[in-house]
Amino acid sequence: MGAPRVCAALLSLGLSLLSSVPADAVERTAEPNTLVPADASRYVAGAFPDRIVATPAQDAARGFAVAWRSGAGIESPWLELVVAGDSPDMGVPRRIRAQTRALAAENGPARHHRADVDGLQPGTLYAYRVQGDGAWSPWMQLRTAGLPGEPLELLYFGDTQNKNASLTTRVVREATRHAPRASLVLYAGDLVSGGDGDDDNEWGEWFDATDALSGWTLTAPAPGNHEYFEAFEDTPRERRVLGRHWPLQFALPGNGIDDGAPTTYWFDHQGVRVAVLDGTSALDLGSAARQARWLDAVLASNPGRWSIVVVHQPFFSPRDGRENSALREHLLPVLRARNVDLVLQGHDHTYGRRGLDEASRAPVFVVSVAGAKQYRLSDEARATMSPVGEDTQWFQVIRIADGRLRYEARTATGRLYDAFDLVDAGPGPKRVEERTEGRIAPRDCAREATLKGRRDRCWE
Ligand SMILES: [Fe+2]
């Protein structure tokens, strides 16, 4: 190599070290909310059943319900069910007739179907398939909840909400690697962003992103504020209205507060009573006191030792300027009185964990985010929560066995971020045991602003 070429190489090396940007790097712009171009049709309902999701019955050991979508040419299709077997001949299936409702969304007319399956055996692997408009789904396998006391594995995701196909998919796939035996998936609301006339593509992407789980593992979503839209915006009649997709796309138990909305519900899953609240209704539609009375009755009749509450808006917000005081006023006393173990939340697009009065006792409050949108932590959150985190997509694995709940928060690449155990030592609140071994270092947002120039957010 001659002297001029050595000089050029050194100059090039120096420049690249200075900038640390590879010569072939792409200049980045903010990604749109879906992968669907404005002039493309990706999610038109057709012959094949899609958006298949199984949700727990009130007793998840004895039943479940399935919702799915097809083109507009079929009413009341069949669900077929059989105990899963090793032979392709699994025997003569049972048939359950679905109820059908129509939805005209941005992608055209569709039919949404719901079939409720009861009379099942606990801890049993069933195979089922659903009928579309002239075509069947694949046979899908789903295990009912086992009996109380049997070891349980479940997943919890904070908001997925944005860029679901692009960036939520990898989190869901990584989660299934870490919890291959999960029999339940909890979503803490804001599954999509909505509100921009693009809901149907967003829901299509949500089902694509969660495809490894939704039809195969009992799925329990909480509604977020983005599952609502503003009617009569900027007028005195402005109010929140539940989006049209929610009641059609999830076949929920319908045992919530007495307002007809399928946004609050409860079920028993292998010794855990799970209660799902509607934080938006509590905060914006005045139902906090009614939800508190309902929750108190639900928890008072819990025959088991474990209880989990899922709600979108946090009781203690890790973001500046957010105070959900109606939750604290009405619902917090119930959590305390009924010794709730875990409160799983979303909404604030960061990570934060805290206890109520004593850090060493349940309930434990967690805020997490699975999706791409990332906010910044408040100073108060840094002072009152531990651990906290920013600029990360997370999923959580929860296992319960032998009187011990083991909680893990992991990053999108599967690294351990937070871990603790809840130990059941008799009546009263469970004891918290920290597990610090193997955790990665705290993660903070190192970015000044998003690609769109917003300084109050970390990424969008
Ligand atoms: Fe939210």
For the chain, state the CA radius of gyration. Answer: 23
Query: Which pLDDT score is estimated for 196?
Result: 56
Q: How far is the CA of 348 from the centre of ligand 1 (A)?
A: 7
Q: Per residue in 51-73, pLDDT tens?
A: 999 999 999 999 999 999 999 99
Q: How far is the CA of 96 from the centre of ligand 1 (A)?
A: 36
124 pLDDT higher than 50: yes
Residue 383 backbone dihedrals phi, psi, to 5 degrees: -85, -25
Query: Which pLDDT score is estimated for 233?
Result: 76
218 pLDDT higher than 50: yes
Domain ranges (residues) in the chain: 50-143, 152-459
Q: How far is the CA of 371 from the centre of ligand 1 (A)?
A: 12
**What angle is formed at CA 365 by the lines to CA 160 and CA 54, rounded to 5 degrees?**
45
Q: Regarding predicted confidence, which is higher, 238 or 438?
A: 438
Q: Per residue in 247-296, pLDDT tens?
A: 999 999 999 998 888 999 999 999 999 999 999 999 999 999 999 999 99
**What angle is formed at CA 230 by the lines to CA 451 and CA 309, rounded to 5 degrees?**
85
Q: How far is the CA of 387 from the centre of ligand 1 (A)?
A: 21
Q: Per residue in 395-407, pLDDT tens?
A: 999 999 999 999 9
Query: Which pLDDT score is estimated for 1?
Result: 40
What is the DSSP pairing of strand 416-423 with strand 125-130?
unpaired
The 3 state secondary structure assigned to the chain is CCHHHHHHHHHHHHHHHHHCCCCCCCCCCCCCCCCCCCCCCCCCCCCCCEEEEEEECCECCCCEEEEEEECCCCCCCEEEEEECCCCCCCCCCEEEECEEEEEEECCEEEEEEEEEECCCCCCCEEEEEEECCCCECCCEEEECCCCCCCCEEEEEECECCCCHHHHHHHHHHHHHHHCCCCCEEEECCCCCCCCCCCHHHHHHHHHHHCCCCCCCCEEEECCCHHHEEEECCCCCCCEEEECCHHHHHCCCCCCCCCCCCCCCEEEEECCEEEEECCHHHHHHCCCHHHHHHHHHHHHHCCCCCEEEEECCCCCCCCCCCCCCHHHHHHHHHHHHHCCCCEEEECCCCCEEEECCCCCCECCEEEECECCCCEECCCHHHHHHCCCEECCCCEEEEEEEECCEEEEEEEECCCCEEEEEEEECCCCCCCEEEECCCCCCCCCCCCCCCCCCCCCCEEEC
Query: Which pLDDT score is estimated for 320?
Result: 81
Q: How far is the CA of 366 from the centre of ligand 1 (A)?
A: 15
Distance CA 304, CA 270 (A): 9
Q: How far is the CA of 157 from the centre of ligand 1 (A)?
A: 13
Q: How far is the CA of 190 from the centre of ligand 1 (A)?
A: 5
Q: How far is the CA of 370 from the centre of ligand 1 (A)?
A: 12
27 pLDDT higher than 90: no
Distance CA 68, CA 282 (A): 29
Distances (CA, A) of 134 to 65, 94, 138, 340, 398: 22, 19, 13, 47, 40
Query: Which pLDDT score is estimated for 12?
Result: 47
What's the mean pLDDT in 301-311? 97
Query: Which pLDDT score is estimated for 313?
Result: 98
Distance CA 15, CA 10 (A): 9
Q: How far is the CA of 119 from the centre of ligand 1 (A)?
A: 37
Tokens read off for 197: 């006339």
Average pLDDT of every residue of the chain: 93
Q: How far is the CA of 152 from the centre of ligand 1 (A)?
A: 29
Q: How far is the CA of 162 from the centre of ligand 1 (A)?
A: 11
What confidence tier does 207 reach under pLDDT thresholds 50, 70, 90? Answer: very high
Query: Which pLDDT score is estimated for 49?
Result: 98
The proportion of the chain whose per-residue pLDDT surpasses 90, expressed as a percent, equals 86
Pick from 190-199, 421-430, 447-456: least confident: 190-199
Distance CA 56, CA 220 (A): 7
What confidence tier does 178 reach under pLDDT thresholds 50, 70, 90? Answer: very high
121 pLDDT higher than 80: yes
Query: Which pLDDT score is estimated for 296?
Result: 98
Q: Per residue in 338-394, pLDDT tens?
A: 999 999 999 999 999 999 988 899 999 999 999 999 999 999 999 999 999 999 999
Q: How far is the CA of 14 from the centre of ligand 1 (A)?
A: 45
Q: What CATH superfamily classification does 50-143 receive? A: Purple acid phosphatase-like, N-terminal (2.60.40.380)
What confidence tier does 431 reach under pLDDT thresholds 50, 70, 90? Answer: very high
Distance CA 38, CA 94 (A): 43
48 pLDDT higher than 60: yes
Q: How far is the CA of 221 from the centre of ligand 1 (A)?
A: 13
* Among the listed residues 299, 231, 290, the one whose alpha carbon sits nearest the alpha carbon of residue 263: 290
Q: Is the domain defined by 152-459 classed in CATH 3.20.20.80? A: no
Q: How far is the CA of 346 from the centre of ligand 1 (A)?
A: 7
Distances (CA, A) of 397 to 39, 138, 290, 376, 410: 39, 28, 31, 24, 8
Q: How far is the CA of 110 from the centre of ligand 1 (A)?
A: 27
Q: Regarding predicted confidence, which is higher, 14 or 226?
A: 226
- Residue 257, classified by CB atoms within 10 Å of its CB into exposed (0-12), middle (13-18) or buried (19+), is buried
9 pLDDT higher than 60: no
Query: Which pLDDT score is estimated for 271?
Result: 97
179 pLDDT higher than 90: yes
3 pLDDT higher than 70: no
Query: Which pLDDT score is estimated for 20?
Result: 64
